[in-house]
Amino acid sequence: MGEEAPAVDYTTAVEKHVEIADQVIKGGINIEEGLKEMLDVIPLGCKDTPILEKNAEAILSVLASVKEVKESYVSTLSIEQQSWLMMYVYKGLGASENKEATFVPPAQIMFKWFNTIYKVGGDGCVMRAVSRRKAL
């Protein structure tokens, strides 16, 4: 019999993501480093909708703050992180339809991110993003 994995404190992780997002937007951390850190711990399985929305807002605000989306922003991420990022892009594109969404990023920026992630991650990235059963 194995030991159970320790429970993840999503509240603390999401607060850290909010701080990182603020630093990225203000220029204190570069976007590649910020995205890597924010996509390391995803609150997957968290049942607390406000925590999920706060995390999505942090990530989407970083994406929305970028004027020119560069492939290097995505290519430095792991395949799994690219898939998570694509899931957040889909979430951002659907935010205007989500009554619980706390942030609605511009669709034009989300489509730029989609195209860049697709160039780097290919069809597999899209398939992993749309086939995940748990919501972000």
| Per-residue model confidence as pLDDT tens digits over 78-126 | 999 999 999 999 999 988 887 777 788 999 999 999 999 999 999 999 9
Beta carbons within 10 angstroms of residue 112's beta carbon = 17
pLDDT band at 1 (very low <50, low <70, confident <90, very high): very low
Helix residue spans in the chain (DSSP H): 10-26, 31-38, 49-65, 71-75, 79-93, 107-131
**Domain made up of 10-131: CATH architecture:** Alpha Horseshoe (1.25)
Of the candidates 35, 37, 34, 41, the residue with the CA atom closest to the CA atom of residue 7: 41
Residues 61/23, Cβ–Cβ less than 8 Å: no
3-class SS of residue 67: coil
The reply to whether the predicted model has a pTM over 0.85 is yes
